[in-house]
Structure 1
Amino acid sequence: MPPEAVEAMIGFEERYGGLWYPLLNSNGMEHGLDGEATIHLGIDGWTFRGILDGDRTWPVDILPDQRTAMTLAGRTRIVNSSVLQRLEAHAQVLQVRNWPHATFAVATEPGQEPTVIGDGLPALDVEATGPADRWWVGSGTAMHLELHVWWGGEDIWIARCFAERAGNLAATVDALRHAVTGGAWRDEDWCGLCTHVVQPAHVCLPDAGKQSGRPRRNNPPR
């Protein structure tokens, strides 16, 4: 195995080993080498297991250049441009998750990202944006595209719009709908932030709180 892969593994453990935080549920994101440290050769190069994604309850692989990859239903996808970008994206979720929000879905061809025209959107949060996350954040508003399914006949991206004031949410949704030109918009009946079933285009309000609900939909066979 190449020395740079071993160095990357040691550097990851020194910087992120022991880091743990919850995101959408109580399982949390667990960082660190677990058990016997092993480096694997995959389709994207040498990788090692460094993160356990508590929301998907599945491991995340780290490449020597700090990109991350996840394999579900036998399909590997690069999901973050770096571990730090992953942390920034999660920090954005935690910052706005209790704002009024609406959830939709966008379907694209396998391996394709939604085409987005930036006019009319808040500034792109470059630090939080990667291969499976796009964040636009402005004063009191935020928009998020997140890759959710990539192992079927089409890719499914979850689109979320946030507004600090509920009265501004409709305009935020309209702006994102007009900006996304590549992909088919779909109604989404599950809010992963509130973990409950919602009606199409339903607005989730902060005081709705968490409700017990079904497991995350579209979980693939492992």
Structure 2
Amino acid sequence: MHILDDPSLSPRVRALLARARRGPSMSADRIRESARAEASDGSKAPVPAGATEAMIRFEGRYGGLWYPLLSSNGMDHGLDGAATVYPSIDGWGFPGLTDGDQTWGVDVLLDGRTVMTLAEQPRVINSSVGQRLEAHAQLAQVRGWPHVSLGIATEPGQEPTVDDDGFPTLDAEATGPADKWWSNDGTAIHLELHKWWGDEDVWVACCFARQDANLTAAVEAVRQAGARVWRDEEWCPLCSRFRRPDQPCLPGAESRHF
């Protein structure tokens, strides 16, 4: 069932997709007829077991889906007329998404995980396209709340060790390998991998509070979540503006510094 026809979606995903549109998609027969595989050197390779059915499942569920998130470019889903799989260090996959906010492609592995490659370094970022949608839907819910971002550096390939005592409840449906959410009715914390190449990985912890007065507690909870190396974050991707490190963005009010 295509996701836009699915009545069982969570309320937040339904809200996210209220502005979605659906374009053309490939039929299962066409995918079967045109399925092919390319080796790392560009030569033709045998189509791996399960690859054709994985592309059919993906296209049947998400083909032609487009929705906006942070910019007007939007998130584009679909095989776009090509049913070709390629090998990677994480397994076989196919180009299935374009992240409009990142203006970059995202591959889908045969097991459903997603991979983004930047600076020639691939990284698994979502456990599934469904998890990616839940994460985007959660961000859409809170992006207009007062918020502040903190940069965290780790060893390459390592996640921050987070003691989430004092955090809101872990949002398992929205949480993936590089995109983690804790939330309740009035507060949310988003930990997202921002850079994964070079001498260190950089994660961004963004704290949200429905009420400005509660933002300080969320920021303090993140600061107390364990020893780490902090990195200044001067650019707010939600507001598309520079601000002083640790300075909150307060929609409709003058920003203050914590």
TM (norm. structure 2) is: 0.78
Aligned partner (choices 125, 131, 134) of residue 177 of structure 2: 131
How far is 1:182 from its partner?
A: 5.1
Partner residue in 2 for 1:61: 107
- Residue 43 of structure 1 and its aligned partner are, at CA, apart by 1.0
Q: More relative contact order in 1 or in 2 (CA 8 Å, sep 6+)?
A: 1
Unaligned segments of structure 1, at least 5 residues: 209-222
**Residue number in structure 2 paired with 1:5:** 51
Partner Cα separation in structure 2 for residue 24 and residue 193 of structure 1: 7
1:160 partnered with 2:206: yes
* Distance in 2 of aligned mates of 1:139 and 1:59: 33
Match of 1:82 in 2: 128
| Alpha-carbon distance in 1 for matches of 2:227, 2:190 | 15
Q: Distance in 1 between matches of 2:251 and 2:69?
A: 16
1:176 corresponds to 2:194: no
Write the deviation string for residues 3-29 of structure 1: whole angstroms up to 9, x where unpaired: 311101111000001111111111100
Select 1:119's aligned residue among 141, 165, 173.
165
Indicate the structure (1 or 2) with the bigger Cα radius of gyration. Answer: 2
* 2:195 equivalent to 1:149: yes
Contact 1:100/1:166 (<8 A) preserved: yes
Q: Distance in 2 between matches of 1:111 and 1:95?
A: 29
| Residue 201 of structure 1 pairs with residue 242 of structure 2 | no
Other structure's SS at 1:43 match: coil
Where do 5+ consecutive residues of structure 2 fail to align?
Answer: 1-46, 254-258
Q: CA separation of 1:182/1:129 partners in 2, compared to 1, >3 Å: closer, same or farther?
A: farther
- Of 28, 47, 61, which residue of structure 2 is paired with 1:15? 61
2:150 and 2:166 mapped to 1: Cα distance? 19
Question: TM-score, structure 1 length as denominator?
Answer: 0.90
1:179-205 CA distance string (max 9 Å, x none): 1x2531222111000000011211111
Q: Cα RMSD over matched residues?
A: 1.1
Distance 2:120 2:91 in 1: 16
Identity %: 63
Question: Does the CA contact (< 8 Å) of 1:5 and 1:63 recur in 2?
Answer: no
> Which residue of structure 2 aligns with residue 24 of structure 1?
70
Distance 2:116 2:245 in 1: 29
Which amino acid is 1:188 matched to?
E
3-state secondary structure, aligned to 1:160: strand
Determine helix, strand or coil for the equivalent of 1:169: helix
* Over 6 Å off, 4+ runs: none
- Between the two proteins, the alignment pairs up a number of residues equal to 207
CA distance in 2 between counterparts of 1:168 and 1:78 reads: 33
In 1, Cα distance between equivalents of 2:250 and 2:63: 36
